Amino acid sequence: MKTPAPGRACGIVLVLLSLATLQTLRAQKNDIDIYSLTVDSRVSSRFAHTVVTSRVVNKASTLQEVTFQMELPKKAFITNFSMIIDGVTYPGNIKEKAAAQEQYSAAVERGESAGLVKATGRKTEQFQVSVSVAPAAKITFELVYEELLVRHLGAYELLLKVQPQQLVKHLQMDIYIFEPQGISFLETESTFMTNELAEALTTSQNKTKAHVRFKPMLSQQQKSPEQQQDTVLDGNFIVRYDVDRTLSGGSIQIENGYFVHYFAPEHLATIPKNVIFVIDKSGSMSGRKIQQTREALIKILGDLGPRDQFNLISFSGEATPWKPQLVAASAENVNEAKSYATAIQAQGGTNINDAILMAVQLLERANREELLPAGSVTLIILLTDGDPTVGETNPSKIQKNVQEAIDGQHSLFCLGFGFDVSYAFLEKLALDNGGLARRIYEDSDSALQLQDFYQEVANPLMTSVAFEYPSNTVEAVTQDAFRLFFKGSELVVAGKLRDQSPDVFSAKVRGQLHMENITFVTESRVAEQEEAFWSPRYIFHSFMERLWAYLTIQQLLEQIVSTLDAEKQALEARALNLSLSYSFVTPLTSMVITKPEGQEQSQVAEKPVENENRHRNVHSGHTLFRYHSVGGKASRVSGGSSADPVFSKRRGWRGQGPPGPLHPPHLPYPPHRTPWRPTPPDVMSRLSATSFLDEHDMDLRIKETTTASPHPAPIQPPSVILLLPGQSVDRLCVDLKRSQGPTNLLSDPGQGIEVTGHYETEKAHFSWIEVTFKKPQLQVRASPEHVVVTRNRRSSAYKWKKTLYSVMPGPVLPGRALGAPGSSR
């Protein structure tokens, strides 16, 4: 492959100060043709190496500009980006950020245009590069990035973005996964799957390996017969899986002189916690924010364990505790706290300093009075949407005050609501005190984001976790001491083996359970571990060394946030050296790409940092949700939706009709469905009962219609009659006249299905309907705003737009699936 001659390479410099995500290519239709787009992702022991290759030809008779736009996961590091134009390669070179910036600034001074590219979503980052292409010329873009998949609520997730924006003759995605521990389950999701595209998805799996291939033909990519030139491919493709865990001491894996130790013991009892929720109720929280906060808080309070203790502090200009001390999470106290949360109103300023210090004082007083259960964990969870404006307003002084008060005795978690709060301030506040920070995005699912975060920290299993290795065996070990280990997560330690390491590598993991200390011991035979990673098809070699470098850099970047200024320089120098040595684009490095001579544009793409993204409001998309599973029986659930995906290895999707809002007028019933007709006739709800599509599939449809009158007069709740399917003359009747609050509409313990709902008499409709499946454990709640799907403590919201499909591992459900009515605006 040719490289540019010296004269050709000196033209314009493209500086990529940082990047992140997968691939899209924007081009003018009929002029720029993407004739090939491939994604090859290889996941070896949680470490993902992804290569995106796009090949383009300029079919126009004039010079055309091609823009290569990409999205990739926030935690990923780009390792290479190159362009091949007419056989000439224009490679990317990693440089120190300051050096790359000098080149960019010089280009600006010469009068050349400069495009600063930095944008983030919830889980992805975006950058783009433009280049001019001569008539009939071909160009190849290649992006390579790497990331360590993090276990979240019991699963690892590989996210790929697919947005070609035109039909592609050769489009192929291959995901290879190799996990020596064994793959316990595997799912795929997509936000764009259709009946036709489902045929292009194949998955194969054995005990330790899996291969997912997505290779749609041109006809399968078409949006519709009327829009034959438009592609339906636009959204997320997610692979989610977990591994087998047979050794309580974790799994030690070794490759090419480096090791990684994964620790996530199963079947440990949850440690009781003492948690104080510190809630911002300042004026800026008014409206939707405080409403969603109340909603989330009520749900979180309901999830407290019977052995937990808790309290609430609301603050604006002043901080006010709900109770003078922590109280047990009894049913009575939880219900009283929910009533308190419901009444929280937003007004006033923001006194973060006093609010956190009050939480610390409550915990310290309880500890002095021996009111904290032995062996319990103490947590403070702060939610705020703005910077401090009352009391102590200097961020550095607040951080100092809080760190001195907590003194390593409690863990502080900080949630920043929206983009008007300094994320850098909250991040340092949390990292200084054994916690972490999280951005809560302003959207219809903000309450779910809060609940999702709480689920991550709701079940502490161990405290003071320390990894120990023989000092004469290892060196350059990453972080090996952790304050807390939570259910559904994983602790990861990596390092380098010394030259004279023994044949058997041993490790100890010490920690504290609820009422006792515990030590796990595990061993790994070096030769056997090395041999396991020799398969070239699934493994990119020396991956474990890169995993170690990646993890070390990520931890150094965290340390830089929370360390003193005197130590920052040494940490930055070490992180920079590793970034350059392993060709990672990080916040400390940049990638410089030469462009063909005569092209006058220089662009800069910085790796976004959360605290730099203030005043950006990112909203979730509205797309089809599909889901695919391997390794178990499957059931299907369909309801109105629009965001994340669910597709199946099965053939033939059903129910592509309108999603409903819950009140779509004149919706036809699918064949084999019989309506549920409530009375009186001016309120029409539908509950459809469905025969199973086959012995594996279950179809749940949520629809409802309403009258045209915008202000219906108050009426008595109607009786609801459910006609069973088939030839049966039996009827099921639900009498809502005497119902107060949530009503059990239907219960079938034999099949493990329960339908509940909340009927509002004055509005004459259901405010929500919830269907709960016991096996597999799944909950679907339909409300006017969205559909919420909860599984394995993970909740996702989907806006009403199209039909929601879900197929997942689980036992065969005999009989029928039942749908329930909802309501919509």
- Residues 313, 448: one domain? yes
Band of the pLDDT at 226, cuts 50, 70, 90?
low
Name the residue with higher pLDDT: 531 or 271.
271
609 alpha-carbon distance from chain centroid:
17
- Residues 221, 115: one domain? yes
The predicted structure's pLDDT at residue 165: 84
Bond into 776 cis (ω within 30): yes
- Residues 118, 79: one domain? yes
Task: Show which of 423, 458, 493 is a domain's final residue.
Answer: 458
Q: Is residue 504 part of a domain?
A: no
Per-residue model confidence as pLDDT tens digits over 516-546: 999 999 998 888 888 888 766 667 778 999 9
Query: Coil, strand, or helix at residue 776?
Result: coil
Structure tokens at 408: 């390593």
The predicted structure's pLDDT at residue 628: 38
User: How many residues does this entry show for the chain?
Assistant: 825
Q: Find the mean pLDDT for residues 441-469.
A: 92
Q: Find the mean pLDDT for residues 6-10.
A: 39
- Residues 286, 372: one domain? yes
Q: Is residue 682 part of a domain?
A: no
Amino acid (1-letter code) at residue 38: T
Name the residue with higher pLDDT: 517 or 780.
517
- Residues 330, 229: one domain? no
Q: Which helix (H) or strand (E) holds 747?
A: strand 743-748
Structure tokens at 650: 């099965």
Band of the pLDDT at 457, cuts 50, 70, 90?
very high
The predicted structure's pLDDT at residue 518: 95
- Residues 85, 161: one domain? yes
Residue 24, pLDDT > 60, answer no
Q: Is residue 657 part of a domain?
A: no
Q: Across 281-295, 314-328, 792-806, which has the greatest mean pLDDT?
A: 314-328
- Residues 280, 387: one domain? yes
Q: Find the mean pLDDT for residues 579-607.
A: 74
Query: Residue 601: which residues within 8 A CB-CB, separation 6 or more?
Result: 12, 112, 113, 114, 115, 130, 595
Neighbours of 473 (CB within 10 A): 18
Q: What single string gives the DSSP state of each residue in 754-770?
A: EEEEEEETTTTEEEEEE
The predicted structure's pLDDT at residue 725: 60
Q: Is residue 250 part of a domain?
A: no
Task: Show which of 458, 482, 499 is a domain's final residue.
Answer: 458
- Residues 199, 343: one domain? no
Minimum mean pLDDT among 272-281, 431-440, 532-541: which range? Answer: 532-541
Band of the pLDDT at 549, cuts 50, 70, 90?
very high
How is residue 115 annotated by DSSP? E
Q: What single string gives the DSSP state of each residue in 208-250?
A: SEEEEEE---HHHHEEETTEEEEE---EEEEEEEEE----TT-
Predicted TM-score of the model (pTM): 0.77
- Residues 303, 220: one domain? no
CATH number of the domain bearing residue 225? 2.60.40
Q: Is residue 599 part of a domain?
A: yes
Structure tokens at 83: 């362009």
The predicted structure's pLDDT at residue 787: 81
- Residues 237, 281: one domain? no
Tokens 């994604």 correspond to: 39
Q: Is residue 98 part of a domain?
A: yes
Q: Is residue 12 part of a domain?
A: no
Number of structural domains found in the chain = 3
Cα separation, 135 vs 158, whole angstroms = 38
Domain that holds residue 218: 32-243+586-606
Residue 493, pLDDT > 70, answer yes
The predicted structure's pLDDT at residue 130: 79
- Residues 210, 72: one domain? yes
Q: Find the mean pLDDT for residues 545-550.
A: 96
CATH number of the domain bearing residue 444? 3.40.50.410
- Residues 219, 330: one domain? no
Cα 555 to Cα 408, 493, 558, 710: the distances in Å are: 19, 11, 5, 56
Of all residues in the chain, the percent with pLDDT exceeding 70 is 71
Q: Find the mean pLDDT for residues 234-245.
A: 91
Mean pLDDT of the chain: 77
Q: Which residues of 635-651 are buried (b: 16+ CB within 10 A; e: fewer)?
A: bbbbbbbbbbbbbbebe
Residue 277, pLDDT > 70, answer yes
Q: Is residue 282 part of a domain?
A: yes
Name the residue with higher pLDDT: 120 or 14.
120
Burial (CB count within 10 angstroms: exposed 0-12, middle 13-18, buried 19+), residue 546: buried
Per-residue model confidence as pLDDT tens digits over 180-214: 999 999 999 888 888 788 889 999 999 999 999 99
